[in-house]
Amino acid sequence: MNDFDLLNNISLGQYRPGDSLLHKLHPALKISALVLLMVLVLISPLLPHLPLMFLLITLMVRLSGQSLFKLLKGTGPVLPFLLIIALIQMFLIPREYSTPSLLELGPFGVHREDLIFTAKLFGRFFTLFLLFTLFTTVTTISEISHGAEILFRPIGRKRALSHDLSLVITITFRFIPILAMEAEHITKAQASRGGSFGTWKTGLIKKIRLYIPLLVPLFIAALERAETLVEAMEARCYEPGQERSRLTEYAWNGRDSWSLAVLLILFLLFTGSRFILSIGGNYV
Amino acid sequence: MSETNRTRQIVITAVMAAISVVLGATRLGFIPWFSGASLTIMHVPVIIGAILEGPIVGVIVGLIFGLFSLIQAAVSPTGAVDVFFVNPLISVLPRIMIGLVAWTVFRAFNGKMTVLSTILASIAGSLTNTILVLGALGIAGALPWEIIWAIITANGLAEAGVAAVICTAIILAWKSIANPDLVAGKKSSLDDLDDQEEEK
């Protein structure tokens, strides 16, 4: 019956309460740091930037008081897939080779470029994995929506678009468990009426006929909930496009300024050295 | 755009984004398919949001869907391709286009022929998703182009068909609930039973 426990399958990264420097940072700073570091990881060459980035994020994990091993545990399920990808990358994808192959296996050969590409791919994956897990570990959902509101403020100040967007984020997170429960109820109801989910029927038509009695009620129920929410908001005099205050305000303090300065210096250092390296013709 | 519509747009954007997240997180949004790669229907909420409430809603639902698939690929990866989805150019950018394309096609009909325009809009939106995501994967060097063409023809067309059927069913069901005039002339078979009993 594990197929029906839909609610337990949702793992969006668990928030772990704490009192560390990273937990206490301003939410807008956390989100912009996430974006900046993500860009850095995506543009960084294999050597020496990628290991340095990984080291840097490991340092941040230490600062947040979490254990590195626990955060990396989530990669477990993909490790077998990584092997498959490595094989595809090494043998199947043709590249421009400048060096003779290092190892011959029948018709296939392993080249230096293949190894570099695969190493870069995995390095980026693990670094980004750690980054996102760290972010969701130290940031609550209300902090995300508040931070997004502050960051979006420059666009559409007149009609308070930023507030609308942060409201969208809040309602989305609020609705996820409700809809997951709804989906669970509908699946159980249809299964009790004879719907056979999880079996390997070959016909596409049969499969669609199986999914329609599941999806149509799910969408209609969600849209009806949306209509009810619109009415409830209007009955309580919600006016879109108005400036409004919040229950909790996050203050910007000296610690945030220092962190922002460190972050910006790092960003400039990394992008600068990346640029210099690429002029030197080193595309590794 | 009246203010009432704006509250509705905010809420429907959020609810459609939540459905897309739920479909992805519970694996309900993946239909097992014999080519190995599952058919996805996670983009259906984006198309429905775009058809019901316009391009901005479609774009924002697509943005949240893309960001969520990026976060899911990075935080709880489940498949081989997830390794590449941590790149926002692959996971976010193509998804923003789904809503725009679906709305443009739906709009081209000027509100006439709801069924036909919904079918065409969902096919266009679905194909946008398949072609742009797989094209981005190909440009990133994730898979050989031969495999990508095979996936586009094997999965993309089936996905477009599934999306068209599901979107049309949902849009028609919702529109006939929202304004009963659409089905005013029609009788359900239950009404026939009532008539028969009255005759007796």
Q: At what angle do helices A27-43 and A254-279 cross, to 10 degrees?
A: 10
The model's confidence at residue B102, banded by pLDDT at 50, 70 and 90, is very high
What is the predicted pLDDT for the residue at B174? 87
Q: Is the CB of B151 inside 8 Å of chain A's CB atoms?
A: no
Q: Which residues pair with B31 in a beta bridge?
A: B39
As given in the structure block, the two tokens for residue A45 are 């060459």
- Which residue of chain A has the CA closest to B68? A12
| A1 confidence band (pLDDT: 50, 70, 90) | very low
**CA closest to A88 among chain B residues:** B143
Q: Residue B39: enclosing H or E segment and its boundaries? A: strand B39-40
DSSP letter assigned to residue A252 = P
Regarding predicted confidence, which is higher, A110 or A49?
A49
Q: What is the dihedral of CA B95, A11, A76, B34, to 10 degrees?
A: -50
pLDDT band, very low/low/confident/very high, at A219 (cuts 50, 70, 90): very high
- Identify the DSSP state of B42: T
Each residue's pLDDT tens digit, B147-161: 788 888 888 888 898
Contacts of A149 in chain B (CB under 8 A): none
Q: How confident is the model at residue A284 (pLDDT cuts 50, 70, 90)?
A: very low
Give me the amino acid identity at A31: I
CA gap B14, A179 in Å, rounded? 12
Q: Does A211 touch chain B (CB under 8 A)?
A: yes
Number of domains in chain B: 1
Distance CA A231, CA A48 (A): 57
- The ipTM value here is 0.83
What is the DSSP track for A146-205? HHHHHHHTTTTTTTTHHHHHHHHHHHHHHHHHHHHHHHHHHHHHHHHTT--TT-----HH
Average pLDDT of every residue of chain B: 80
Q: Is A87 on the interface with B (CB under 8 A)?
A: no
Q: Is the pLDDT of residue B31 over 80?
A: no
Calculate the average pLDDT of chain A. Answer: 78
Q: Which residues constitute the domain of residue B192?
A: 3-199
What per-residue confidence (pLDDT) applies to A9?
A: 47
Among the ranges given (A10-14, A210-214, B138-142), the one the predictor scored with the smallest mean pLDDT: A10-14
CATH label of the domain that carries residue B109: 1.10.1760.20
Per-residue pLDDT of A177-218, as tens digits, reads 889 888 888 888 888 887 766 555 556 677 777 788 888 999
Average confidence (pLDDT) over A113-140 = 82
Question: How far is the alpha carbon of A131 from chain B, nearest alpha carbon, in Å?
Answer: 9
More confident residue, A197 or B58: B58
Residues of B with Cβ-Cβ distance to A117 under 8 angstroms: 141
Comparing CB atoms, the residue among B25, B87, B143 nearest residue A10 is: B25
Give percent of chain A above pLDDT 90. 9
Would you state the pLDDT for residue A5?
A: 54
Give the dihedral sign, CA A241/A243/A246/A252.
positive
Size of interface A-B (CB pairs under 8 A): 192
A242-275 pLDDT per residue, tens: 777 777 778 888 888 998 999 999 888 888 887 7
Q: CB–CB of A219 and B19 under 8 A?
A: yes
List all residues of chain B from 56 to 95 with a beta carbon under 8 Å from chain A: 60, 64, 71-72, 74-80, 82-84, 86-88
Contact list, B29 vs chain A (CB under 8 Å): none
Between B44 and B89, name the one with better pLDDT. B44
Specify the pLDDT at position B2: 47
Q: What letter would DSSP give residue A25? A: S
- For B64-95, what is each residue's pLDDT tens digit? 999 888 877 776 666 666 677 777 788 888 89
Higher pLDDT, A107 or B125: B125
Residue B46 has pLDDT above 90, yes or no: yes
pLDDT band at A221; cut points 50, 70, 90: very high
Which has more pLDDT, B167 or A282? B167
Those residues whose C-beta lies under 8 Å from the C-beta of residue A217, and which sit 6 or more positions away, are A186
Tell me, yes or no, if A116 comes closer than 8 A to chain B by beta carbon: no
Is the Cβ–Cβ distance between A89 and A121 less than 8 Å? yes
Question: Which of B13-22, B57-66, B185-194 shows the lowest mean pLDDT across its residues?
Answer: B185-194
Residue B29 — pLDDT band, cuts 50, 70, 90?
Answer: confident
In this prediction the pTM is 0.78
